[in-house]
């Protein structure tokens, strides 16, 4: 198959770097002590799931989660890589951390769907994967907001355990539509402090192109900038208040391997467990 050009292949080095013993991104940097942040560290394999960053490097327009052996059909992640998007109904989790690890948690009263956690259907730039074929890439930069999902009608968000927020679709999401989740610093921890950005997200929020040790984050920066620009322009969200944003594309209806996604997302949620919150956990969790 011909190679797909554009921003998605540029992401593959970053995504795969999380599988290596080293990384081109300095993951040893830490946020200010005692602050609670929304986890976002692609260079360490720590991103919210579902997430279109996991299309990075795709050659067949499907998910491209790193796997040990792409021919190992016993690995559920191999089956997941046959999907052209994410579940329309599965709950998902957003993870936070506190650098002191002293039992600080989220202030549950500040987890407010529609206010501190907002969800949007978005338009995205999806050019042809191979020029002249009419086949478009599975995802791309956000270009605008189509509509905001209504809390209590379309989705809900709530405390889901220590330093975790659960997001639950109340209606099936539209197949092949793109969705964006925005988390603001209106969420506070139990010390009364606003949530802050993770180090790598702070780089991704920046207006200037990244180079040097952070160059691998440049394609992510472009995507984050596009999301935050749409959130500010179309929804009136101050970019300075955004501590996390991510986007995902819903899979096509009737995908025969949707059971693989149910194995990792729907089933844990149905048993009261928190779904995976990073693709590193998807790669290592075999229980």
CA distance 94 to 92: 7
Residue reference for tokens 């192109």? 209
In the chain, what's the furthest Cα-to-Cα distance?
57
pLDDT recorded at residue 45: 85
pLDDT bin (cut points 50, 70, 90) of residue 23 is very low
71 φψ region: left (φ > 0), alpha (ψ -120 to 50), beta (else): alpha
Q: What does the pLDDT average to over 8-28? A: 50
CA distance 208 to 221: 9
CA distance 159 to 193: 17
| pLDDT tens digits, 134-152 | 888 889 999 999 999 999 9
pLDDT recorded at residue 64: 85
pLDDT recorded at residue 145: 99
> Contact 177/138 with Cβ under 8 angstroms?
no
**pLDDT of 268 higher than 80:** no
**pLDDT of 29 higher than 60:** no
Measure the CA angle with vertex 109, ends 37 and 240; round to 5°.
40
Q: What does the pLDDT average to over 100-118? A: 96
> Contact 150/217 with Cβ under 8 angstroms?
no
Q: What is the DSSP pairing of strand 92-98 with strand 36-38?
A: antiparallel
Percent of the chain with pLDDT over 70: 76
Q: What does the pLDDT average to over 94-106? A: 92
More confident residue, 80 or 233: 233
pLDDT recorded at residue 287: 42
**pLDDT of 235 higher than 50:** yes
Interior/surface letters 110-128, b for 16+ CB within 10 angstroms, e for the rest: bbebbebbbbbbbebebee
């Amino acid at each position: 198959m011909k190679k797909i050009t554009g921003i998605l292949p540029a992401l593959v080095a970053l995504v795969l770097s999380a599988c290596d013993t080293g990384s081109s991104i300095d993951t040893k940097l830490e946020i200010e002590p005692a602050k609670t942040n929304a986890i976002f560290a692609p260079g360490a394999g720590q991103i919210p799931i579902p997430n279109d960053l996991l299309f990075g490097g795709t050659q067949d327009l499907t998910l491209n989660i790193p796997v040990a052996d792409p021919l190992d059909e016993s690995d559920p992640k191999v089956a997941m890589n046959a999907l052209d998007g994410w579940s329309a109904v599965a709950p998902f989790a957003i993870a936070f951390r506190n650098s002191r690890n002293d039992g600080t948690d989220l202030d549950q009263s500040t987890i407010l769907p529609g206010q501190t956690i907002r969800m949007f259907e978005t338009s995205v730039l999806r050019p042809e994967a191979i020029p002249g074929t009419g086949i478009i890439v599975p995802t791309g930069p956000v270009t605008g907001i189509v509509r905001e999902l209504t809390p209590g009608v379309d989705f809900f968000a709530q405390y889901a355990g220590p330093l975790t927020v659960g997001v639950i679709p109340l209606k099936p999401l539209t197949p092949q539509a793109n969705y964006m989740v925005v988390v603001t610093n209106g969420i506070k921890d139990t010390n009364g402090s606003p949530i802050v950005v993770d180090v790598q997200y702070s780089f991704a929020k920046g207006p200037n192109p990244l180079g040097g040790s952070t160059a691998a984050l440049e394609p992510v920066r472009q995507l984050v900038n596009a999301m935050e620009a749409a959130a500010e322009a179309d929804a009136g969200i101050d970019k300075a208040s955004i501590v996390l944003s991510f986007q995902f594309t819903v899979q096509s209806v009737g995908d025969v391997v949707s059971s693989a996604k149910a194995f990792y997302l729907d089933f844990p949620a149905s048993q009261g467990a928190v779904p995976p919150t990073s693709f590193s956990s998807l790669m290592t969790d075999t229980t």
